[in-house]
Amino acid sequence: MTGKEPTSPAVTARDSVQIDAAGLTTQQLNDLLRRAVADGIKKIELRNVCGQRYIGTDLGQPVEIDIYGTPGNDLGSFMDGPRIRVHGNAQDGCGNTMNHGEIVVYGHAGDITGLSARDGKIFVRDYVGYRAAIHMKEYQERKPALVIGGTAQDFLGEYMAGGTVIVLGMELKPGEKHRARFIGTGMHGGAIYLRGEVEKYQLGKEVGVKELDDNDRAALGSLVGEFARHFSYEAEALLQGKFIKLVPLYLRPYGRLYAYG
Amino acid sequence: MKTYLPNRFIVERDPARCIQCEVCVNQCSFDVNYRDADEDEVRSREENCVGCHRCVLFCPTRALNIRRTPLDYRENANWRPEIIEDIIRQAESGGILLTGMGTDKAHPIYWDRLVLNASQVTNPSIDPLREPMELRTYLGRKPDSLTVEPGSLALKTKLAPQVAIEVPILFSALSYGAVSINVHKSLARAATEMGTLFNTGEGGLHRKLYKYGANTICQVASGRFGVHPDYLNVGRILEIKIGQGAKPGIGGHLPGEKVSAEVAATRMIPKGTDALSPAPQHDIYSIEDLAQLISALKEATNYTKPVSVKIAAVHNAAAIASGIARAGADIIALDGIRGATGAAPKIIRDNVGIPIELAIAAVDTRLRQEGIRNQVSLIAAGGIRNSGDVIKAIALGADAVYIGTAALVALGCTVCQQCHTGKCAWGICTSDLRLTKRINPDIGAQRLVNLLRGWSLEIKEMLGGMGVNALESLRGNRLHLRGVGLTDTELEILGVKMAGA
Amino acid sequence: MIDRDMNKLNNPYNDDKVISACSLFGMMDVSGKVFSGKDIIRAIANMHVRSNGLGGGFAVYGLYPRYADYYAFHLMYMNKQARTETEDLLKENFHMVLAEEIPVNPCIAVSNAPGLWRYFLEPEAASLNGRPADDFVIEKVMQINTCIEGAFVFSSGKNMGVFKGAAYPEDIASYFRLEEYAGYLWTAHGRFPTNTPGWWGGAHPFNILDWTVVHNGEISSYGINRRYLEMFGYACTLQTDTEVIAYAVDLLMRRHKLPLEAAVSVLAPAFWEEIERMPAAKQELHRALRTVYGSLLLNGPFTVIIARQGEMMGLTDRIRLRPLTAATRGDMFFLSSEESAIRLVCPELDRAWIPMGGEPVIARLGGTKVVAEGAVAAAKGAC
């Protein structure tokens, strides 16, 4: 997009604004967001978003942003605090290296959703593309979570080093299996809770399958509860059926990789 | 006749460490270490030492070390010690200088003048530990095209036999008789475990190893030792040996003392007789005769196995390879001048043939120019030392490589070049039962598996770095190579650009 | 025969090949109804940041209905002499129905614009000498491109045409006045090359006969793809991945007559492990395709949109290192690097989905809309 002169945000309440993003460049839009947050705005509604990137990236405040349209790549990348709701689909890189905050997608999200996220939560109603939660990691109290209502494409949880991924398999028809291959390949931390069938060959070789214990059920219940509230589902229905827990078999999966000399 | 040959090695024995246990005496097969009965002390006849390190590594107190003798001749760039001593040896024997292993001369090693590419920014390197990285290779003749029925997607083309290998590395021909049964067993088991193949060499296959047939290349050479219907049918691939890199144009001669009862039974010749391999195959005096033998082998095995033809890489390798492809071979094995042997005339080993790198490049280029590269698989042999050499051979155009010396080193060989003596202290190149038991096939197979595993991991890392996740995308992909320190002519023959270009 | 090095124009630094990243867009009305370039120009412009102004282009099918039976050659001329020589060659070998300058808008600021001409041609029966017309046309295209200094055929199919140049795609569109044309299938490309040739021929789409390819990514198997194609007589004059993809498709589908599904399994094959899990007959086919055509595996990251008369296909590499979104709305079928570009021109979609890596999405004229799809699942309520 070539950009147009941004119009002033329409103030819709004391601390809320609505911004028409049609025709704005990424920089123009994010500049408007920065200014709104600097002005103490707490709630922002973005209309006609169409491919603008990095929305929410450097706002550093727990503002609420509702996005109508299709935000561009790297939505909420490096984000530290905002809560974003996407009323549509998210493109690639959603929640890239997110530090804190929340992204809720009322649709599907593209590739590398939650790449290297260190904290915060991402809820995707439908499915995610390739390499979701790749290298997601936890540190001290920081623990990221990605909850996916549908299914995932290949390399879900690749190199995953921490955090929680939940796949609810809601789009699967009876008897239909998840299609993702190489699930948890190279995983060495965190947990993936998965409802719906997968074959052994779909799992990475560093991944083990476990039954859930009470702690798992508590963690699952809490995150699925939040997911259900976002998308108006019955949490209990979402928790029915068999979940498996995928965990790394080894903390150091590549112990025998090297010869020293 | 008094010998004018000086000792080559000094055996250093630390008296403070030596406990006179005689392990070194028992381990040495060259009659170096002995107990001096008069002095009641273990000593060394250094004139016999070949520098194989067997005693050093088996000495329980590490009391031994072997060093080159410091004896210096007057400096002379022409009349170097080796040349002087070769003349002395011939003056004292009147014979052809015989040696083992590959050439020790400083022929250019083009592998070391080729460097590989890696991805930066414009495409991602691929992480081989977590993402699929495929090394599988199918050896065999490929048609120019396939016919697939629209709609049903039924394959209408019938493919010639194809053999899958999971790593692009095969064990080179090492004949039973030259090497011991335990070496064959180690190679067979390792090949089976790693999903690749070992090559019988020209001495047949011991019946005990027939169970490894699916991972065996059965060689048919000029001596036709142990070649019979069972042998032809048990292997996965048949290989006609025309020549080998260490001794192009030369036959072989397994001395009678190595033809033990078991070797005799496998080769189907009387025990203790010399096993002579003629220089040429006497049914192949021309290319059409090669076609005849290829067809004969295919008929004998009902067209179920690819037929390979192994040649030494010589000046006209490209034209010869074209002829071999047109003669119906499914695989061409090229063995370069640095290839090894159990025994060869030294003057031939060191002077005949061309480097394998140039041969691969020339052959691959020629076959492509003629539009027949797909008709044959290309196996490169002769001086492949590590996974870097393997991957460069494949980028130059090889489908796979043979390793011989590297496999033997994995089993214990220290490249002391005494294979032809039959006294190998490591129990590899000998049929002396006292020595052959030094190779434990369980351990031997494990060492070979470990080597191939390590190389495979390294190959995957390098492929991933180049942004390639299937080996076929590197095969003949010379853009992933650059040359350093090469002349324009060398670069042109190799088909690679200079680094920086 | 090759006395002119096309590569010098496109690749002045003599890199192994020209590397470029990109934005892609394709849209097709499967009922065959034609529409103007207005929407696709907006859509590709929406992904402006994915290109850098050094290349943009469009392919249009159903473009020349009046001359549908003639080969439509689009030519770039760097000088007058080139045109004279080319027209002599064309007249010698073809019946020329029409020759005209391609109308452009001179008010659009573009640099290095060549002379742009188009010709509607029918090969002379005598010249064909019994050979298939397509083979003859390819030979003449290669002859012009390699032997006539300053001339370049950048489009050579029937009832279709490519328009491209070294500028942002939206500027190229304005220059060629593409909003005035209509077709039922359009593809577009915005380019981000890593050198600065400033030569118009290097832009995408790449075309041969009625095949067009727009491509995003870098093919790390390029070296062997190219050497393999050279065995079959294809001269890779431009040294770009895209050229190689176009020739590969021509070889597999036109010359070797492989069905599209089989050709796709050559370009983005299943993993060996997956092949082993297939039913026996399928296994045999896939093993054979990979064994025989392994040198045409496109390795490394790519998304391509390959089109020909009546058909458009999107495909990514088998581990999906470049993006692709597909969508439908009524008879319209869309492919794009980013979903937002589709939404810009068609906010309400029946479906929008992300195809699986290595699985083609194909739209064909008439019949079913999308005959094969790699959708991960029914995109329930996502639109």
Residue ranges of the domains in chain B?
Answer: 9-95, 137-142+167-254+290-498
Residue C379, pLDDT score: 31
Secondary structure, 3-state, chain C:
CCCCCHHHHHCCCCCCCECEEEEEEEEEECCCCCEECHHHHHHHHCCHHHCCCCCEEEEEECCCHHHCCCEEEEEEECCHHHHHHHHHHHHHHEEEEEEEECCCCCCCCCCCCCEEEEEEEEECHHHHCCCCHHHHHHHHHHHHHHHCCCEEEEECCECEEEEEECCCHHHHHHHCCHHHCEECEEEEEEEEECCCCCCHHHCCCEEECCEEEEEEECCCCHHHHHHHHHHCCCCCCCCEHHHHHHHHHHHHHHHCCCCHHHHHHHHCCCCHHHHHCCCHHHHHHHHHHHHHHHHHCCCCCEEEEEEECCEEEEEECCCCCCCCEEEEECCEEEEECCHHHHHHHCCCCCEEECECCCCCEEEECCCCCEEECCECCCCCCCC
Rg (CA), chain C: 20
Residue pair C333/C61 in contact (Cβ under 8 Å)? The answer is no
Report in angstroms the alpha-carbon separations of B282 from B221, B274, B322.
10, 19, 22
Full strand arrangement of the beta sheet holding B497-498:
B114-116, B481-483, B497-498
* Interchain CB distance below 8 Å, B129 and A254: yes
Tell me the per-residue pLDDT of C279-321, one tens digit each, with 9 for 90 and over. Answer: 999 999 999 999 999 999 999 999 999 999 999 999 999 999 9
Mean of pLDDT values over C105-129: 92
Please report residues of A whose CB lies closer than 8 A to that of C357.
130, 153-154
Q: Which residues of B181-200 are buried (b: 16+ CB within 10 A; e: fewer)?
A: bbbbbbbbbbbbebebbbbb
**Fold classification of B9-95 (topology level):** Alpha-Beta Plaits (3.30.70)
Distance CA C59, CA C75 (A): 14
Does C353 touch chain A if contact means CB atoms closer than 8 Å?
Answer: yes
* Interchain CB distance below 8 Å, C288 and B123: no
Tell me the per-residue pLDDT of B224-234, one tens digit each, with 9 for 90 and over. Answer: 999 999 999 99
3-class DSSP state for residue B313? coil
* Interchain CB distance below 8 Å, B131 and A254: no
Distance of CA B407 to the CA centre of its chain: 8
* Mean pLDDT per 10-residue segment, chain A (261 residues): 64 87 94 94 96 94 96 96 97 96 98 97 98 95 96 96 97 92 94 96 94 95 98 96 93 77 63
Mutate to test the interface with A, among C41, C380, C383 (most CBs of A within 10 A): C380
Cα angle B483, B488, B491 (rounded to 5 degrees) comes to 40
**Res. C191 pLDDT band, cuts 50 70 90:** confident
Tell me the per-residue pLDDT of B126-167, one tens digit each, with 9 for 90 and over. Answer: 989 889 999 999 999 999 999 999 999 999 999 999 999 999
Nearest C-alpha of chain C: how many angstroms from B467? 6
Whether pLDDT at C18 is above 90 = no
Does C320 touch chain A if contact means CB atoms closer than 8 Å?
Answer: yes
Whether pLDDT at C381 is above 80 = no
Nearest CA in chain C to A108: C382
Domain range annotation of chain A: 1-107, 113-261
* Interchain CB distance below 8 Å, B154 and C281: yes
Whether pLDDT at C373 is above 50 = no
Whether pLDDT at C369 is above 50 = no
Please report residues of B whose CB lies closer than 8 A to that of A111.
none
The strand pair at A80-87 and A64-70 is best described as parallel
- Assigned token pair, B267: 């080769």
Please report residues of A whose CB lies closer than 8 A to that of C167.
none
Nearest C-alpha of chain B: how many angstroms from A104? 29
Tell me the per-residue pLDDT of B276-321, one tens digit each, with 9 for 90 and over. Answer: 999 999 999 999 999 999 999 999 999 999 999 999 999 999 999 9
Stated pTM of the model = 0.92
**Res. B34 pLDDT band, cuts 50 70 90:** very high
Element (H, E) at A207: strand A207-210
**Fold classification of B137-142+167-254+290-498 (topology level):** TIM Barrel (3.20.20)
- Assigned token pair, C204: 């995408």
CATH, domain range A113-261: 2.160.20.60
Nearest C-alpha of chain C: how many angstroms from B422? 43
Q: At what angle do helices C280-293 and C260-267 cross, to 10 degrees?
A: 60
Tell me the per-residue pLDDT of B319-331, one tens digit each, with 9 for 90 and over. Answer: 999 999 999 999 9
Peptide bond between residue B161 and the one before it cis (omega within 30 degrees of 0): no
Q: What is the mean pLDDT of chain B?
A: 96
Mean of pLDDT values over B446-475: 97
Q: Which of B435, B470, B118, B172 is nearest to B310 (CA)?
A: B172
Please report residues of A whose CB lies closer than 8 A to that of B457.
257
Mean of pLDDT values over B174-201: 97
Does A251 touch chain B if contact means CB atoms closer than 8 Å?
Answer: no
Please report residues of A whose CB lies closer than 8 A to that of B455.
none
Element (H, E) at B447: helix B441-465
Does B501 touch chain C if contact means CB atoms closer than 8 Å?
Answer: yes
3-class DSSP state for residue A128? strand
Does C336 touch chain A if contact means CB atoms closer than 8 Å?
Answer: no
Please report residues of C whose CB lies closer than 8 A to that of A110.
323, 325, 339, 354
**Res. C7 pLDDT band, cuts 50 70 90:** low
Sign of the Cα torsion B348, B351, B352, B358 reads: positive
3-class DSSP state for residue B458? helix
Whether pLDDT at C340 is above 80 = yes
Distance CA A96, CA A88 (A): 18
Catalytically annotated residues of C: 22
Please report residues of A whose CB lies closer than 8 A to that of B129.
186, 253-254, 257
Does B129 touch chain C if contact means CB atoms closer than 8 Å?
Answer: no
Residue pair C217/C179 in contact (Cβ under 8 Å)? The answer is no
Residue pair B201/B167 in contact (Cβ under 8 Å)? The answer is no
Mutate to test the interface with A, among C23, C49, C168, C340 (most CBs of A within 10 A): C340
Mean of pLDDT values over C40-55: 87
Tell me the per-residue pLDDT of C21-38, one tens digit each, with 9 for 90 and over. Answer: 689 999 999 999 999 999
Tell me the per-residue pLDDT of C249-270, one tens digit each, with 9 for 90 and over. Answer: 999 999 999 999 999 999 999 9
Distance CA C243, CA C153 (A): 13
Nearest to C272 among B123, B134, B466 (CB): B134
- Domains of chain C with CATH codes: 19-64+160-372 (3.60.20.10)
3-class DSSP state for residue B71? coil
* Share of residues in chain B with pLDDT > 90 (%): 94
Mutate to test the interface with C, among A154, A167, A233 (most CBs of C within 10 A): A154
List the beta bridge partners of residue B170.
Answer: B402
Distance CA B103, CA A175 (A): 64
Nearest CA in chain C to B500: C15
Would you put residue C233 in left (φ > 0), alpha (ψ -120 to 50) or beta?
left
Residue C19, pLDDT score: 60
Distance CA B474, CA C216 (A): 21
**Res. C8 pLDDT band, cuts 50 70 90:** low
Q: What is the mean pLDDT of chain C?
A: 89
Residue B13, pLDDT score: 97
Nearest C-alpha of chain C: how many angstroms from A232? 14
* Interchain CB distance below 8 Å, C356 and A153: yes
Residue C376, pLDDT score: 31
Neighbours of chain C (3+ CB pairs under 8 A): A, B
